[in-house]
Chains A and B, each alone.
Chain A
Amino acid sequence: MQSRRARAAVTAAVCIALFAPVVLDRDSFPLSTYPMYAYARSTRSTIVTAHGVDAEGRIVGLTPELIGDSDDPLLVVGELRAALSLGRGDVRCAEIAERVARRPALNDVERVEVVSERHDTVARTRGDSSLLERDVRADCAVERP
């Protein structure tokens, strides 16, 4: 492994392996096309999230820990999006409702909604009103003993 020829072979193999996903246009792990932030994106974007709803119909914000059992919002959103695309929105909604039910501070929350929301992202970043559309993808009750 320590001869110059062996080092050259391994180095060449590593370079070929790294560029293989680019040639094949196929993202994977740990070899990747690194497509993050590459695609053109308009100022209008749709995100998925979940929130609570109280008896008056007011929306109550939920933390990433409540929505996805993690403190990483990127992970939480990614997993929620994957669950919706697999038709498991109701299952995920019930899991969120269970976590909400265990929080005394959220006793006024009666329902959980998993929603996709369309926002003007630049307006939101500026602190302006940004919500353009909201679509409820799953709806479930918070059941407490």
Chain B
Amino acid sequence: MTALSTDVSDRRSLWGAVLGVPAPAERLATFRIALGIFTLSYLLIRLPVFVALGDRPIGDFELVGLLAPLASPPAAWIVYAALALTIVGAAATAVGWRHRIAGPVAAVGMLLLATLRGSWGQMLHFENLIVLHLLIVAFAPAADAWSLDARRLDADSAADDSKVEPSVRYGWPLSLAGLVTAITYVIAGIAKLRYGGLDWVVGDTLRNHIAYSALDST
């Protein structure tokens, strides 16, 4: 009873909510499946853009992020190989096949492709969260349920009841992903006040941005 009370009290703090909340394996698996499908769909829908990364004029190139130290873009075959591996990795993440390999492949591949795409002039900030969430899922036990990996283990196991118990192992990655999302929006809010000032709250900044975006997109 004392242990339970401590546990409940701990969860009331933000730190405790991030670190100590157990969750069923299926909940983390749902996140893995949704993220894998989203990433796969994004790569396939935007395939022409990513394929074109292998054939961009070198003069327009300015590497950003982790690739910034490089003097020139990677060879086209590296881009195409990374794209193929990332697509396979995202599909494997969605179905939970060889997750310990597929998860990191999808995460690192998406990081590379999004960094490269941003090196030719336009940063798309929504890609940041895709990459950060993929990195979290890649190193989490996200394929312990609702996955081909789990089915294979069940088939190999002699145990009658192979149901996975709820655990902090499954809750923490979800809490961490939620924390990353929340912090991202906090930082975006800080940027509004830092760069735009109070005009963002009381002025016409937002109206003018919407009008500019309408012009920029036509």
Contact = CB atoms under 8 A, between A and B. Distances in A.
A29 B65 contact: yes
A60 interface: no
Contacts of A24: none
Contact of A2 (B169, B203, B205): B169
Given A14-B176, A29-B123, A74 B216 contact: yes
Interface string A72-111: 1111011111110010100110000000000000000000
Interface in A5-54: 7-8, 10-11, 14-15, 18-19, 21-22, 27-43, 45, 47
A47 B128 contact: no
B52 A32 contact: no
Contact of B195 (A35, A47, A77, A92): A35
Contacts of B62: 82
B59 A122 contact: no
Interface string B193-209: 01111011001111111
A30 B211 contact: no
B211 to A, nearest CB: 4
Nearest to B204: A43
A14 B211 contact: no
Contacts of B124: 74-75
A122 B64 contact: no
A29 B128 CA distance: 7
Given A34-B184, A40-B196, A82 B19 contact: no
B195 A43 contact: no
A8 to B, nearest CB: 6
B97 to A, nearest CB: 22
Nearest to B135: A30
Given A14-B176, A79-B120, A122-B207, A34 B125 contact: yes
17 contacts: A1-B139, A11-B19, A11-B179, A28-B68, A29-B127, A35-B191, A38-B200, A41-B205, A41-B208, A69-B52, A77-B216, A78-B122, A79-B121, A82-B60, A86-B59, A124-B211, A124-B215
Interface of A: 1-2, 4, 7-8, 10-11, 14-15, 18-19, 21-22, 27-43, 45, 47, 69-75, 77-83, 86, 88, 91-92, 119, 121-122, 124-125, 130
